[in-house]
Structure 1
Amino acid sequence: MAKIVKPLTDTKCSSAKPKVNSQGKLVNNKLADGKGLYLIVRPSGTKTWQFIYGRKQYLNDKGKPTDGVITIGDYSKVGVKGVIISLEEARARRTMYLAQIANDIDPIDYIKLEEEKLKDRFDFESVTRAWHVAYGQSSGAQESTIAKSLRNFEMYVFPIIGEKLIDSIKPRDLSRVLEHIETTGFGEVYDKVKRRLSAIFAYAVSKGYIPESPAVHLKGGLTKKKEEKHYPKLPLDRLPEFFSRLKNDTGVPLTKLYTEFALHTFARSSEMMFARWNEFDFDKSIWTIPAVRTPVKGCPSSHRGAKMRKEHVVPLSRQVKDILMEVRQYSGMGQHVFPANHDLNKFISENTVNKTLTRMKYDTKTEVCLHGFRGMARGALALSGLFDRDAIERQMSHKGENEVEWAYTHHVEYLEERKILMQWWSDYLDENKTKYVSPQEFRDRLLSDARNGIQSFKYGKLIKFQMAMLNAS
């Protein structure tokens, strides 16, 4: 049964004396008012209020909360007349501490935090720099991206609100920052700063610097509509022309093979240019692009792997494997699939494909560029009506709506269908080397063959599914 504590009275506090121990010496007398509040009467005669509680976040070796002791102040002091901290004030302070504990706030930690605020250590710039360190350690982003995120704040945000205390910043202050960035016309900076403001204030909330984030009000903010960036892609009916120009290109053989490889795999530039031979499994017809590659001395950014910083699988079609067999004649003696000219230890230029396209008399700003290959493939695959939209998006390595699920499954999800998908795209390109065939025509030919009993082993599972859908309709 819990011990019942009789509350103190002013009379008892005023008349309280130190204890006398068995040796006749004066020692502290500890008077309890209940719920952690004590009056300590010292041998000197000074009477001090203390709040004592168990710190749940700080356990001892036995797994039990350590004692937290907060000195509230003196009730009376030797040589000082009158009451300094009354019994009523001490109880009010106790009520505040108990409320903090009930909300999982450690009172001692809170007091230290408030002391730091008084020292101006919690201005916006200081908190942002602390967040930036944590972001760099946990995000997995590239170093250049991490560094750029801070430069944006140094240029556009700190001059406006950097010196303001974190708990004094209001939504209107953040709106002022974003309006300033918007007037500069840097839409990409605007979006990134807006997202990172939310992350910084969430960090401040998690640290106990502020009770809630003023950045939550930015979510519904209205901004000028930005023009979406489009990469030029060649219309599919110009594929025969493309292959004709590529065949007659005067570039070195490896450059032409690299361009053809890019069209068939529609991978991103850094994913291809830094590829290593050990990433390819020809028996399983799989190219596994790692999240991060081993950096090569003297080759900036050679550590870059899959764009989304998660391992990405690219099924290899028969045509792509044939291309790689030719590539091996030029680079098979080294580790790099696409090395630089005359140096197997370096990598092909990032602009190789676009330079090739320019040499083929294409305008890479208005007609087609390397990134446009992705749009061409995506458009043809969608027009065929043969493939699940999610399978296409996974092969494009686009993030899904559920980013947590995507992080664990995107590299292998729909893999069987993606193998068929990649073979279909290569076959479609072959079909268009001399004469244009639309994705729909190519699909109908496959379905017609299936209706006529012609078995296509390459598309067996796909045709079976499509025929079932047609019969059902």
Structure 2
Amino acid sequence: GGNNERQWSASLRDYAMPKLARKRVDAINAADVMAVLLPIWSTKRQTARRVRQRIGAVMKWAVAQGHREDNPAGDAISAALPNNRVPPKHQRALPHAEVGAALARVRGSGAYLGTKLAFEFLVLTASRSGEVRQARWEEIDRDGAVWTIPGKRMKTGREHRVPLPPRALEVLAAAARLFNGDGLVFPSPTGRVLNHSTMTKLLGDLGIDAVAHGFRSSFRDWAAECTDAPREVCELALAHVNSDRVEAAYRRTDLFDRRRVLMADWAAYIA
């Protein structure tokens, strides 16, 4: 689609063109491609990979057209690029026994109330930061105590229902008083979506050694160690659809109630 093409040309324009534009396609060698990739390989790995892929696509086209013999962005440079595998970003997380104290510290801080409420809601629902920051009132059924996140906002691409324990409903009531209960549930002070680093920055300011996303791990560890909830229930609580068993569980109806119990227990544990 158009967007993809724009990204294509943008990445080539910004990174490849300055170094390669003046060269004939048959004169570009592995060293030239390395000169494009190395400056961004460790800082913008995702972008660098895309640029490499796109230069490679152009070169494969050139090979097919008979303009050159090889693809200088292919295997020729793999060994020369530092540490090819991206280490998974370790999401710093607290041991689950420390989550309640961290929550109390955030609550008692002088930070912007919208951020504090969003953070507490994130922990109570074991949700991803983006899901909470972009949450809208029309997704929330306070009477039924359920938050239905539309598929377009989910990493899995499918609608996800989140059971809301009583404390999460109190957080929502506070947010409704603050922000007139319309549009975004937790807007920034300027009425926009909170910045993605806001919650993690608040934790850092308070000396809490964790990132917002890490609280999903704390929840998962607690569920495994302190409850007898079956694995599928825990995985569904995190909206992970990563196996056939979980996939099958998605189609059964009883699990929402099981998850409601699990989330209520979690809320009680961190209260």
Structure in which a larger fraction of residues adopt strand: 1
* Residue equivalent to 2:146: 285
Runs of 4+ more than 6 Å apart: 210-213
Shift of 1:391: 6.6
Q: Matches of 2:33 and 2:270 in 1, distance apart? A: 52
Q: Taking structure 1 as reference, are residues 390 and 424 closer, same or farther at Cα in structure 2, changes over 3 Å only?
A: closer
Amino acid at match of 1:156: Y
Amino acid at match of 1:318: P
Shift of 1:290: 4.9
8 Å CA contact 2:233, 2:255 repeated in 1 = no
User: Greater relative contact order (Cα 8 A, min sep 6): structure 1 or 2?
Assistant: 2
What value does the CA root-mean-square deviation take over the aligned residues?
A: 4.4
8 Å CA contact 1:340, 1:346 repeated in 2 = yes
* Residue equivalent to 1:388: 231
* Residue equivalent to 1:268: 128
Q: Taking structure 1 as reference, are residues 250 and 156 closer, same or farther at Cα in structure 2, changes over 3 Å only?
A: closer
Question: Percent sequence identity over matched residues?
Answer: 17
Shift of 1:179: 6.4
Q: Matches of 1:179 and 1:385 in 2, distance apart? A: 54
Matches within 5 A, 1:360-371: 361-363=206-208, 367-371=209-213
Q: Matches of 1:259 and 1:191 in 2, distance apart? A: 33
Q: Taking structure 1 as reference, are residues 243 and 176 closer, same or farther at Cα in structure 2, changes over 3 Å only?
A: same
Shift of 1:229: 2.5
* Residue equivalent to 1:315: 162
Match of 1:239 among 96, 99, 113: 99
Q: Matches of 1:181 and 1:420 in 2, distance apart? A: 49
Q: Taking structure 1 as reference, are residues 137 and 159 closer, same or farther at Cα in structure 2, changes over 3 Å only?
A: closer
Give the TM-score, by structure 2 length.
Answer: 0.68
* Residue equivalent to 2:200: 354
8 Å CA contact 1:277, 1:335 repeated in 2 = yes
Unmatched 5+ stretches in structure 2: none
Tell me the SS of whatever aligns to 2:149.
strand
* Residue equivalent to 2:268: 430
Structure in which a larger fraction of residues adopt helix: 2
Q: Matches of 1:356 and 1:163 in 2, distance apart? A: 47
Q: Matches of 1:246 and 1:234 in 2, distance apart? A: 14
Shift of 1:137: 5.3
* Residue equivalent to 1:181: 37
Q: Matches of 1:210 and 1:382 in 2, distance apart? A: 58
Q: Matches of 2:232 and 2:59 in 1, distance apart? A: 37
Q: Taking structure 1 as reference, are residues 164 and 413 closer, same or farther at Cα in structure 2, changes over 3 Å only?
A: farther
8 Å CA contact 1:178, 1:194 repeated in 2 = no
Unmatched 5+ stretches in structure 1: 1-133, 139-145, 292-304, 403-408, 434-473
Q: How many residues align structurally?
A: 258
Larger radius of gyration, structure 1 or 2? 1
8 Å CA contact 1:391, 1:414 repeated in 2 = no
Give the TM-score, by structure 1 length.
Answer: 0.43
1:338 and 2:199 are equivalent in the alignment? no
Amino acid at match of 1:354: T
Q: Taking structure 1 as reference, are residues 375 and 416 closer, same or farther at Cα in structure 2, changes over 3 Å only?
A: same
Q: Taking structure 1 as reference, are residues 216 and 161 closer, same or farther at Cα in structure 2, changes over 3 Å only?
A: closer
